[in-house]
Amino acid sequence: MALLKISNLHAEIDGKPILKGLDLMINKGEVHAIMGPNGSGKSTLAAVLTGREGYTVTDGSVEFNDSDLLALSADERAKAGIFLAFQYPVEVPGVSNANFMKAAVNEARKYRGQETLDAFDFIQLMKEKAALVEMDSSFLSRSVNEGFSGGEKKKNEIFQMAMLEPSLAILDETDSGLDIDALRIVSNGVNKLRASDRAIVVITHYQRLLDYIVPDFVHVLYKGKIVLSGTKELALILEEKGYEWLEGEQS
């Protein structure tokens, strides 16, 4: 059974078609990279999968664990096991990281019929997961992303992923804005979260990130469709030949 099955997905924003018949199948335990030039629909795909407002699906279907993902609200998708690491994580002044994660983790536990965590267990869990991305636990009492550097924001995304233990994590341009040290820390964090019951989708422009997070499959998203799929070597070809090469391949 596929974890995620996207069939003939068409989506538009403000009446402008962006996704034009996208097909993709992802199984548990796999890491997929989706590459493509600017405007090809990479971030739209992430938005549509996570239920962001303003995007309209005009055709096609998305099945997650054999049920209709598109029928769920954004919070229900998260509780069902989908996680998005944002390309541009927003700053939320006045909401502490600890309170934010406590609300999120307990909502997910309630959804799954589990008991909510008490304060002590929760703090232990947060400290353990923060260590995964080498974050000092003092950040937990700070407001979500407020005054964080680009690297800290991305680490916080991976920290949240570790806390929420999704079955499908979508990392949207997680490498953007990272220096080489932060890139290493973030990638290490992601690699530690690779698991047989979890799939990871890495959306990126550049092959660089894939040296750190090595994918099982690479797909090329171009003009709203997956035009080419392969293994990690495909990323190297793209790096060498550029996306213009696809024009030739297409015809």
Contacts of 43 (CB under 8 A, 6+ apart): 87, 172, 173, 203
How distant is the alpha carbon of residue 158 from its chain centre?
9
Judged by CB under 8 A, the chain residues 141 through 160 that form the site for other proteins are 143-144, 160
- Asked if residue 62 binds other proteins (CB under 8 A), the reply is no
Which of 15, 93 has the CB closer to other proteins? 93
Near other proteins by CB under 8 A: residue from 67, 74, 114, 242: 74
State the amino acid at position 100 in one-letter form: F
Residue 32 and residue 45: Cα distance in Å, rounded? 14
Smallest gap, in angstroms, from Cβ of residue 235 to other proteins?
27
Q: How far apart are CA 247 and CA 219, in angstroms?
A: 16
Candidate segments 4-12, 71-79, 133-141, 204-212, binder of other proteins by CB under 8 A: 71-79
List the one residue from 164, 182, 199, 200 that touches other proteins (CB under 8 A): 164
The C-alpha atoms of residue 80 and residue 35 are separated, in whole angstroms, by: 26
Determine the angle formed by the axes of helices 180-192 and 150-164, rounding to 10 degrees.
Answer: 0
From 75, 121, 179, 239, residue interacting with other proteins (rule: CB under 8 A): 75
Contact between 86 and other proteins per CB under 8 A? yes
Which residue of 29, 89, 151, 177 would you call a contact of other proteins, by CB under 8 A? Answer: 89
Work out which of 11, 18, 69, 108 binds other proteins, going by CB under 8 A. Answer: 108
Q: Is 119 exposed, middle or buried (0-12, 13-18, 19+ CB in 10 A)?
A: exposed
Q: Which of 14, 16, 71, 94 binds other proteins (CB under 8 A)?
A: 94
Sign of the Cα pseudo-torsion (74, 77, 78, 83, in order): negative
Contact flags string 175-214 toward other proteins, x per CB under 8 A: ----------------------------------------
Contact segment (CB under 8 A) with other proteins among 13-21, 90-98, 204-212, 217-225 equals 90-98
What is the smallest separation between the CB atom of 144 and other proteins, expressed in angstroms?
A: 8
Distances (CA, A) of 52 to 49, 99, 204: 8, 23, 20
For residue 211, which amino acid is it?
Answer: D
Instruction: Name the E strands within 103-214.
Output: 143-144, 168-172, 199-204
Those residues whose C-beta lies under 8 Å from the C-beta of residue 168, and which sit 6 or more positions away, are 3, 4, 26, 64, 81, 82, 83, 198, 199, 200, 201
Nearer to other proteins, 21 or 150 (CB): 150
**Contact residues for other proteins, defined by CB under 8 A:** 50-53, 73-75, 78-79, 83-84, 86, 89-90, 92-95, 99-101, 103-104, 107-108, 111, 143-144, 160, 164
